Chain A
């Protein structure tokens, strides 16, 4: 494919097709609508289905149902729609149905400002639905990265049987950059293979391994699906000897695999005592500030997080051991900074939060870096 000027949201749609997504259900909302627009054209060409639903609650339900029926599925939304999806995101986590939810963040709360950028849904993406549950949240920093992380989102959702949130923002979603996409045929993602006979199959067996293979409905494998706590074949249970192993397996199935799930980029210098830590559009600003500081002879480290949940504790702890100060620019009033503070201590962290729709500027970051 040739180099083409492409929008972040378009790259997400292309990444979904490349990853084998064949079902999209959604309700259009600024600034995510381009994802739906592109998929409404592209999915029918590859035998996929596009449905515009009546709302985001139904959209989320539809993509869960589609995946149970065997199709890789996705939806895309923004703030108000993401709030409506929370109940069914919890259902997907409880029933361990893979699915990808794109949230192109806009300024909130409530209707907020539809066309203004934000990174205000960091905590909602982790804790928006009730109860302890695992979830993966990825955050891209460029148009090409939006394509690549969408594929990763599908890969992780399948491999770990979990909803994955692609948490992008209005800046990255609407930004256009020159990109050259790979041949979609070269894209490989995890595929479930069920080796048991249908009679022996347990969709929720608690070991060996922490992720049981998933069989699609209609392929001869029978199991029950419920949002209630369930036994290994999916029927409701109140027995602690059935609930406890499930809780343990499901709440560690991601953290046990952080070596694979934690995606990040380190740009470190020997002797640096100040670091910048960021994600999404603000990671671009952080990199800009890093280059300016280095051009002036200041040593500075940069940690860009692409996986933000589960929080990459190991990498942040190591950075905290290396430097005296970590500056965290983000387009909110300090959300991911709370996690950094939890790991390295409040005294080492300087927040640069802006929650009015404007990007943090390199100058604001430099001022917090200090001398």
Chain B
């Protein structure tokens, strides 16, 4: 009897995960499998005919200068946004935890960009960053800083940086919210003890706060990896990957190959490389976090 029950509960366990298996199988694993399959074919993304071409798409992809630029831009974007977003988010969270006057209003204000549609944020920044009539350059000129009134989105030297700034503006509130939640879980006694021991603001921040919110930082890094690899909307809306290819991202590259150039095979190959990069980075990050937790 016991044996039968054990077999049954084993089957039941599988049944409990069946709904999510069906859903992810349909909408995730099938799509991944199809993308991998497509990456070995020549396909315009429309016809039913697909021609097997082996690794040709991958060979062309790795030979494509635009793809290299996209990889480089994604890396710069990831390093800049994740670090700065986390640092600013933590600073804001620490300030908000101090319960300064009006902190509830500030908390909402900082979080608003996170819930705003990217198309609205991009439209606003396109107007703000306009070279001739944008408020950013108008302000700089009014202060006599004409030399700083550059073409933020139209000059390859500044376009990527502009995208990074807009992205930080959009997601800083998200980092702040996660850190704020983590900070609320730290007992006040720890801070009071530190204060009694004569620890100042910076020492408390780096010796107490930062180590205790390590888990949140780790989560933000993983989300940052995935987020930077998925970044499309804000780039597409602000610069479209240009001028030239100067702000090309992996996602805009995939989009252009598939939709604009009708090259479904090469687009799929680029998509597969994004998946592999995301998996490798996520595994490395998880291993690093596990090692850190063991060391603690």
The answer to whether A and B belong to the same complex is no
| Interface of A toward B, CB cutoff 8 Å | none
| Interface of B toward A, CB cutoff 8 Å | none
